[in-house]
Amino acid sequence: MTDERPLRRRATGENGAAGPASSTTGQDARRSLAARTGLTALLQRHPRVLVITALSLAFLLLGTGSVLAGVAAGSTQAAPAPTVSATGSAPTPEPTRAPPSIATGPTRLRTCSIAALAQDGRLGDFVGAVVDAETGELLFDRAATTPARHGSVLKVLTAAAALRVLGPDHQLVTRVEAGSAPGQIVLVGGGDATLSALAPGQESVYAGAPKLADLAAQTVAAYAAANPDAPEITEVILDADYWNPADKWDPSWERSEQTIGYQSEVTALQVDGDRQNPTFDTSPRSTDPVSRAGEAFAFALDAAGNPGGRPGIRVGASNGGTELAVARSQPVGRLIGKMLLNSDNTLAEMLARVVSKESGFDGSAASLTPAFAAALQGYGVTLDPAMVIRDGSGLSHLNAVSPLYYAKLFDVIADGGQNLSVLSAGLPVAGKSGSLASRFTGDASVARGSVAAKTGWITTAYSLSGIITAADGRRLTFAFSAIGDVDGSARTALDLLTAGAYRCGGNLSNN
């Protein structure tokens, strides 16, 4: 249970009482008059001395008050249990004037601390950053510039890179070309994992995705028109060479991601994200997505009336023959929404590889760090020199991005320019949608509906990063990660910490 202890107030001066009342006698009045008369005379004789003395005394008093306020704010760090101290009633002193030789402006004294919440043992080796989106100021810093793993939060970078390179209206294409021999066609993958083998009228997890049946019908008609004397399709060549088909599984990934059903192998040709059951987000994936797609297409050709029935299949390469048919994915903007809301790993990997290819790289996993760096630099956020992009989904523990980079990028995302409104619209909302629908309960429920963020989870990290519309109306951007020997309870600790930042708003202190 969270132990909430507010900041202690000083015991004196809160109610204006200064001790027992006293009366003024005539003698007191005369003494007072004499004192005032003497002070007047002194002021007339030594005006500069008195002014300087008064200013010095005022400076000392203000400095002492600032020190005491700092001690009170910092004292929350010693709390034995996670607390949030959001005492908005603490007055903000007038800023002192800096000497002319120091080019600094007044600094706001912030009094609201989430330090104890950040020390929750469930957060492991915690790293985090909170930025004031209106000023760009770093309000909260816990190893904020240290590159670290953040799990699926990395999909935010994949989405931003895809919007920058491809644009929200770009569509991924699967083509059918004429082969080099009679009766032969080539099915050429272009990175669209949403192409569905389900019958018309049925929907996969990618509602509205293109259908293999439509591609097959186009193909049979076009092939027959081009070959009226021999309209039979007898063989389908499967081309997944858009990037190297052997570069399909990162060695740092756990194979259980595939067998349980969180991730498919990363091949440019596949159907339904290679799911065993295309209607379930989490469904076991095969060890050969390319052949599975080919078999489904052969059945679809037979169903579409291919005179030769179901053709044979084999893996090969296109020879650049005449295009017979094409299937186009939904726009990238729609794919990003699906990827972010349900944290779809396969979509993320496909988009990352296509970003690489369309940026002039080779589509390999090894190319993702330079490809993403080239794409993301256009947003004007300084890149981490030590940034490592191992994959597009965040599954690898070898990914390394600093919390501050995420917070700063979300600052740009929150503004919604450069097509980034597509990204912010696709984020899960606390207590409302996507992977945050069932979170932010109990003490964290105060922030439900006010946090739009991407969740992250791998076996050694739980993360949350996004945008907070704080209680005071201030917009904050943040990135929090619990790293190391952590478990599912870290989610609750992250929610409480985020809710603490929500309560503090612009009054959030780094103490």
- How many structural domains is the chain composed of? 3
Same domain, 159 and 192: no
Same domain, 145 and 218: no
- Express each pLDDT in 430-443 by its tens digit: 999 999 999 999 99
| Amino acid occupying residue 183 | G
Same domain, 413 and 373: yes
Please indicate, yes or no, if residue 345 is contained in any of the structural domains.
Answer: no
Both tokens of residue 242?
A: 């858009």
Please indicate, yes or no, if residue 18 is contained in any of the structural domains.
Answer: no
Same domain, 465 and 389: yes
Please indicate, yes or no, if residue 135 is contained in any of the structural domains.
Answer: yes
What is the DSSP code string of 17-37? --SS-----HHHHHHHHHHHH
What is the rounded distance in angstroms from the CA atom of residue 231 to the CA atom of residue 217?
A: 13
Same domain, 185 and 310: yes
Same domain, 181 and 326: yes
Please indicate, yes or no, if residue 105 is contained in any of the structural domains.
Answer: no
- Domain, as residue range, for 424: 112-166+359-509
pLDDT computed for residue 305 by the predictor: 98
Same domain, 141 and 184: no
> Where do the DSSP E strands lie in 123-242?
127-132, 138-142, 173-178, 184-188, 235-239
CB 272 within 8 A of CB 298: no
Tokens 């065993």, located at residue: 276
Same domain, 119 and 59: no
Please indicate, yes or no, if residue 349 is contained in any of the structural domains.
Answer: no
Residues 470, 471, 472, 475, Cα dihedral to 10°: 10
Q: Which CATH number fits the domain that encloses residue 405?
A: 3.40.710.10
Same domain, 251 and 299: yes
Q: Residue 289 phi/psi, 5° resolution?
A: -60, -30
Ranges under pLDDT 70 in the chain: 1-107
Which residues lie closer than 8 Å to 480 by C-beta, 6 or more apart? 123, 126, 127, 128, 403, 463, 464, 465, 494, 497, 498
What is the rounded distance in angstroms from the CA atom of residue 390 to the CA atom of residue 368?
A: 7
Please indicate, yes or no, if residue 337 is contained in any of the structural domains.
Answer: no
Same domain, 202 and 278: yes
